[in-house]
A and B are shown apart, each in its own frame.
Chain A
Amino acid sequence: MINEKIAGTAEVIQKTNVIEVAHASKIYGDITALDDISLSVAQGEMFGLIGPNGAGKSTLFKLMLGLISPTSGNIRVHGVPIDGRDFRAVRRRIGYLPESFVTYDNLTGLEILRLFADLKQVPRSSCAALLERVGLADAAGRRVSGYSKGMRQRLGFAQVLLGKPDLIFLDEPTNGLDPQGIHDFYQILRQVQAQGATIILTSHILAEIQERVDRLVILQTGHIAAQGTLAQLRTQRVLPSVIEVTLAPGQQARIEAGLARMAGLQISMNGQRARISCLPAQKVAVLELLFGLGGAVQDIAVHEPSLEDLFLGYGGQHVQAH
């Protein structure tokens, strides 16, 4: 009974929205950067923000951080309006990594981290451990002017983690990191999320974000083109599955004849390889048909539509839905 109650409370807490954006618009002169944006981010969620350049991602980030005010609509973070007096307290619990982390080149890594620790009123003693955590312990005493782009990004990430923030904004966070750096970065991010932090990130490496975010928003020219989980987005816009088949020599005609019985397939043949795109619903039927051909097929690979395909479908080149 008590356990149930606790579980119930936990569920309620989980559903608390950390960020609520209601009908927010931002207009600069005659340019509408954001038009009637409504979204919410729940506590503990990893939330992705995707869109081509100029879609309004940065503007939306700046609004949620309270760096700019909306032309209309309102935005609350932890229930506090971004232009309210109490927002300073909210800011202390926010970690933000801008798209390019630029600081003061003639200070050392440790000095810069201490500067931000002071501003966030976090004990300076936590700085050395944070530099260690992001792999910069050896470079702590060196001036940032000698840092590589990856090292700067690591320093920026250490700055984000100051004071154990419960809300983290990351703008293209893995920019400039090598594969090991990206791996380390997400490892730390998962630990932080496991401790209950809410994370909002943008990335242009879509395959990278796709594996990690719980939910995402796709922005296009200031509008929300789609939002939801990856699965929801996939059903909102049907994308073809692609089946690649390697054929046994001399079997092309047989395969073509077999596939011709099904409608709505797009087939391209290239020697011993066939590339079949079909609706997700047809996938199993196509595979059964291929298996039925026995020795004619040597190998089969199935490609599901990626977020990249979705993204292109929304943001750029249109993918035809049947």
Chain B
Amino acid sequence: MFKRIEWAQVRVIAAKEWRERIRNWWVLAVAVIFALFALAIAYFGSAQQGSVGFHGIDVTIASLVSLVIYLVPLIAMILGYDAIVGERERGSLELLLSMPITRFEILLGKYLGLSAALACATAVGFGAGLLPLANQLGPRDLYHYAGFVFSAILMGMAFLSLSLWLSVVSQDRMRASGMAIGTWFFFVLVFDLLLMGLLVASKGSLGSTVFASLLMLNPADVFRMLNIFSSQQVQTMYGLATVMPDSLTNPMVLMSIMLGWIIVPFLFANWRFK
């Protein structure tokens, strides 16, 4: 049906999604959670090394990365799984589809609106969390921290894209939520274990290029790589990181791969949205 994209329609749907997340306090609640974690980690992150207090942005980012890698994908999956299947189940999708709007426009509008909610909660939350330490941070620190927050948003958008795909193909909300949690579990817990097992089983015959390429099959690992290779100090904290081939440590390459993780699942979602 009508092929030309009308951006006004996309904007209407995006604005509606955004307003709903603001209205039900979703954005604020997630921002508060992020702020508390950022603050706690900045202050207590090095407690296991025997001291509390702020020990520099690189250490803080390294600690935040290990937390965010669990939290942001989970929040993104919860945010997105309901987007289509929820409206289908409640019955509001039919009316929406009867409007002068295409399925692509609905999907893109939903994706952008939800992304805006997620991005806002992430940026505000992690921004506010660091406010009490503002006087201890230099421009370089802020730049690195901003890079970390930006990459967290991109990872969130990648998982949001995955959850939208699940939402399109699921028959009901129950299944969609189950699949969303399963997907999260796979990418943040199972995937790395499998890779580790593969590495051990292959007795080192798996080349570092192959290994690094396999890491790219997981947006959470792409996020981890992005943050490791943006700071020399963080790199030294991960011994493993030094075996990575140069082509896959370039932030621009990693960023492109992350964009792929945002776009490809969305295109699958659009393809299956009938």
Contacts and interface: CB of A to CB of B under 8 A. Distances in A.
Interface of A: 62, 65-67, 83-89, 91-92, 94, 96, 98, 100-104, 106-107, 111, 115-116, 118-121, 159
Given A85-B3, A103-B92, A119-B99, 18 more contacts: A83-B1, A84-B1, A86-B2, A88-B2, A89-B100, A91-B98, A92-B100, A102-B92, A102-B95, A104-B16, A104-B92, A106-B20, A106-B23, A107-B23, A115-B12, A115-B16, A119-B9, A119-B96
B99 A116 contact: yes
29 contacts: A62-B94, A67-B97, A83-B1, A85-B1, A85-B2, A85-B3, A87-B1, A88-B2, A88-B102, A89-B100, A91-B99, A91-B100, A92-B100, A96-B95, A96-B98, A98-B91, A98-B94, A98-B98, A102-B95, A103-B92, A104-B20, A106-B20, A106-B24, A107-B23, A111-B19, A118-B12, A119-B9, A119-B12, A121-B8
Interface in B62-113: 90-92, 94-102
Nearest to A96: B98
B117 to A, nearest CB: 14
Of the candidates A62, A87, A88, the one having the most CB atoms from chain B within 10 angstroms of its own CB is A88
Residue picked from A84, A102, A107, A159, most chain B C-beta under 10 Å: A102
Contacts, number: 66
Contacts of B94: 62, 67, 98
Contacts of B95: 96, 98, 101-103, 159
A82 to B, nearest CB: 8
Closest 8 CB pairs of A and B: A91-B100, A102-B91, A88-B2, A118-B12, A119-B99, A96-B98, A102-B92, A88-B100
B185 to A, nearest CB: 30
A111 B18 CA distance: 13
Nearest to B95: A98
Contact of A119 (B3, B20, B24, B101): B101
Give chain B's interface secondary structure class: helix
A200 to B, nearest CB: 13
B102 to A, nearest CB: 8
A298 to B, nearest CB: 54
Given A98-B95, A103-B95, A120 B100 contact: yes
A65 B98 contact: yes
A98 B92 CA distance: 9
Contacts of B23: 106-107
Contacts of B9: 119
